[in-house]
Amino acid sequence: MAPTALVVALGAVLAAALPAPGLFVAVGLGVAAIGTGWLGFRRSGDPGFTRLAGAAAITVGALGLVLGALRIGLALAALDHLDRLLG
């Protein structure tokens, strides 16, 4: 579960750098990475590396989520600025 969560988390960070739909994909993948990373972290019978990979997936997924949300906020602020500029 944790290696899959890491792949999803890295996809979230990479999607935050992509054009137009990437910001929404980054938010979705970030939430998915946090959830799957949490599930991987909570499995107590797994070795230490698996729990550490789950914690890393939570951290990187949260970073992708924040970057995607920041891009959405900047896009909304730019649209508001254009609206005030033209109207």
Q: Each residue of 27-50: pLDDT tens digit?
A: 999 999 999 999 988 877 778 888
pLDDT at 82: 95
Q: Each residue of 52-64: pLDDT tens digit?
A: 999 999 999 999 9
Is the pTM of the predicted complex or chain greater than 0.85? yes
Q: Mean of the pLDDT values across residues 14-21? A: 90
pLDDT at 1: 81
Classify the phi-psi angles of 19: left when phi > 0, otherwise alpha if psi is within -120 to 50, otherwise beta. beta
Domain boundaries, the chain: 2-86
